[in-house]
Amino acid sequence: MSQKYDESFQRGTELFRLAAPLMLKQEATPNPISFAVWYEHVAGRNTALSREIDALSENGGRLTDAHVLDLYQRYLIDAYMAATASVHNTLSRVMHEAATTIDESRGTANDYSTELRQRQSALLGPIDRLNLQKAVTEILKETEGVSLSMSEIGHRLAANHAEVERLRDELRQAKELSLIDALSRLTNRRGFDLALDEMVANARESLEPLSLILVDIDHFKKFNDTYGHLLGDRVIRGVARAMTLAVRAADVVARYGGEEFAILLPATAIDEAGKVAERIRASISRAHVRRVDDDLPVGGVTVSAGVAIYRRPESALDFVSRADKALFAAKFAGRNRVHLRAE
């Protein structure tokens, strides 16, 4: 769990009292995952989570178990930490095996060294040809045995090395997956926040511009209520694909929350970012949405976008706030448009 709970007994009881009726009203499955999501919602400390819950439950909408699990995975659980624990346990075992192997090799080498010293001592005195041949034969036999033993130890150490390499790849993949949104396959909110902090820090120290686009699907709640969540999920994936096709490899495209997306564009002036946003808007407006069950067209969707450029030395929060204001202006002006906030 990425969220730690340190509420008092009284506070915890109050949050339970608030969460329980909401769960009953939603007919939420009474399991630990469901309770964790609603508990976090009524605690009021995870605004992105609460915003999604409010949007999904607006006008009597119901959160399915799939919705709850998706929220839990995106806002509460840290898959990277779980993978880290697994890798830690395996790595401990591998290190123990490697240490044992090294100890064995050390013991084998010491035994061999002792044998050689004894043979050397025996050869210092008078020795006939027969005994010399016997000594050489025994030394060759012992050397061959040590060689085989060391070869086996080498193979075991090589296997340990290969397993450590596999663990490193597994950890890297788990870290990457923990920053990916399950539905859209874009960077998730956690990944966006990390990228935002890094890019803002770079922008403060350099002369390179940094632009941000916030994109919101127009009337998505109404669309979901009319055609169902399966088609809504298809729309989210389609919008994500349109944005991915419109940006460069260096840009970060993220699902910011619900039907809202964010795009970070390093080394990009606001006018150029506005052109990217307009290409995305136009591409989505030309697309046709088809029903899941019979593939019949049901019309299209549009998006609104707000664009802002980073102004040194403002905080990352202020930067996002200005982009959000630009998005609001686009929606207020009638939606299906792009608004630039240059100041």
pLDDT of residue 199: 94
Instruction: Exactly one of 27, 58, 144, 259 is catalytic; name it.
Output: 259
CA-to-CA dists, residue 316 to 212, 253, 260, 312, angstroms:
11, 17, 18, 10
How far apart (Å, rounded) are the C-alpha atoms in residues 104 and 99? 9
> Two tokens at 21?
């009726």
The pairs formed by 154-162 with CB atoms below 8 angstroms and a separation of 24 or more are 156/97, 156/101, 157/98, 157/101, 157/102, 160/94, 160/97, 160/98, 160/101
3-class DSSP state for residue 187?
strand
Burial string for 265-299 (b: 16+ CB within 10 Å, else e) reads bbbbebeebbebbbbbbebbeeeebeeeeeeeeee
Q: Is 259 a catalytic residue?
A: yes
Q: Where are the beta strands (DSSP E) in the chain?
A: 210-217, 252-257, 260-266, 289-290, 297-299, 303-309, 338-341
Residue recorded with tokens 């909401």? 22
- For the entire predicted model, the pTM comes to 0.57
Q: How far apart are CA 340 and CA 343, in angstroms?
A: 9
pLDDT means per 10 residues in the chain (343 residues)?
Answer: 54 78 83 82 76 80 82 68 59 60 63 62 60 62 63 64 64 65 86 91 92 95 82 90 94 91 96 96 89 72 96 92 95 95 69
Q: Which of 51, 340, 113, 77 is nearest to 213 (CA)?
A: 340
Cα–Cα distance measured from residue 187 to residue 157, given in angstroms and rounded to the nearest whole number = 38
Q: Contact, 96 vs 163, CB < 8 A?
A: no
Three-point CA angle 79, 84, 86, nearest 5°: 100
Q: For residue 82, how far is the Cα from the chain centroid?
A: 12
338: β partners: 305
Q: Tokens representing 30?
A: 């009474």
Three-state SS across 56-79? HHHHHCCCCHHHHHHHHHHHCCCH
The dihedral region occupied by 299, where left means phi > 0, alpha psi between -120 and 50, and beta the remainder, is: left
